[in-house]
Chains A and B, each alone.
Chain A
Amino acid sequence: MNGPIVRLYMLIVLLFGALVFATSWWSVFTAKNLRENVANRRPLLAEERIKRGAIRAADGKVLARSAKIDAERYARRYPTGELFAHVIGYSFTSIGRSGLEQFRNDPLTGRRTELIGAVDSLLGERGVGDSIRTTLNSEAQQAAVDALKGRKGAVVALDPSNGAVLAMVSNPSYDPNGLDDGDKFKALATDEANSPIVNRATQSGYPPGSTMKAVTAAAALDSGKYKPDSTVNGANGKKVSGVPLNNFGGEDFGDITLTEALTKSVNTVWAEVGEELGKQTMGEYMTKFGFYKQPPIDLPSGQLLASGERENGRLLSPNSSKIDVGRMAIGQDKLLVTPLQMATVAATIANGGVRMEPHITQKIVDPDGRTQDEIEGERAERVISEDTARDLTAMMKKVVEEGTGTAAALEGVDLAGKTGTAEIDVERDINDAWFIGFTDEFAVAVVLERIQGTGGVDAAPVAKAVLEALGE
Chain B
Amino acid sequence: MSARNRELFALVPASLLVAAGFAAIFIQQSQQLSDVSLTYGAVFLGVCVAAHVVVRIRLPYADPYLLPLVAVLACFGLVVIYRLDEEKALRQAGWFGFGLLLFTLTIVFLTDFRVLERYRYTIAAAGLALLLLPRVPGIGQQVNGAYLGVGVGAFQFQPAEFGKLAIVVFLAAYLRDTRQLLVQGARRVLGVTLPPLKHFGPLLVVWGLAMLLLFVIRDIGSSVMYFGGFLALLYVATNRLSFVTIGMALFAVGAYVMFQITSHIQDRVAIWQDPFRPSLVEKEGYQIAQSLFAQADGGLFGTGFGQALLSVGGTPLLPAADTDLIYSVIVNELGLAGACGLLLVYLLFCERGMKVAMLSTDSFSKLLAAGLTAVFALQVFVIVGGVTKVIPLTGVTLPFVSYGGSSIVANFVLLALLLLISDRARRPAHLR
Contacts and interface: CB of A to CB of B under 8 A. Distances in A.
Interface stretch (A37-45, A163-171, A191-199, A372-380): A37-45
Contacts of A41: 312, 317
Interface in A1-29: 1-9, 12-13, 15-16, 18-20, 22-28
Interface stretch (B54-62, B91-99, B198-206, B289-297): B289-297
A35 interface: yes
B27 A124 contact: yes
A16 B289 CA distance: 22
B317 A42 contact: yes
A30 interface: yes
Interface in A55-93: 70, 73
A4 to B, nearest CB: 5
Contact of A15 (B281, B297, B381): B381
B254 interface: no
A27 B374 contact: no
A41 B366 CA distance: 50
Contacts of B357: 1, 5
A194 B278 CA distance: 37
Nearest to B234: A4
B346 interface: yes
B38 interface: no
A119 interface: no
A15 B377 contact: yes
B336 A42 contact: no
Given A26-B296, A27-B299, A34-B296, A12 B317 contact: no
Contacts of A22: 385, 388-390
Interface in B342-367: 343, 346-347, 350-351, 354, 357-358, 363, 366-367
Contacts of A35: 293, 296-297
A163 to B, nearest CB: 39
A46 interface: yes
Given A1-B363, A8-B354, A15-B377, A40 B309 contact: no
A46 B390 contact: no
Contacts of B374: 8, 12
Given A1-B366, A20-B343, A39 B282 contact: yes
A2 B356 CA distance: 11
A150 to B, nearest CB: 41
Contacts of B278: 39
A interface bracket (residues with beta carbon within 8 Å of B): 35 or more
A121 interface: yes
| A7, A27, A34, A124 interface centre (most CB from chain B within 10 Å) | A27
Given A20-B340, A22-B390, A23-B295, A5 B309 contact: no
A73 to B, nearest CB: 8
Contacts of A95: none
B221 interface: no
B313 interface: yes
B227 interface: no
A42 B313 CA distance: 13
A35 B299 CA distance: 11
Contacts of A32: 296
B325 interface: no
A392 B300 CA distance: 61
A45 B309 contact: yes
Contacts of B381: 15-16, 19
Nearest to B305: A124
7 contacts: A8-B232, A8-B236, A8-B354, A9-B354, A18-B385, A22-B389, A28-B336
Given A28-B300, A42-B317, 6 more contacts: A16-B381, A19-B343, A22-B385, A34-B295, A37-B276, A40-B293
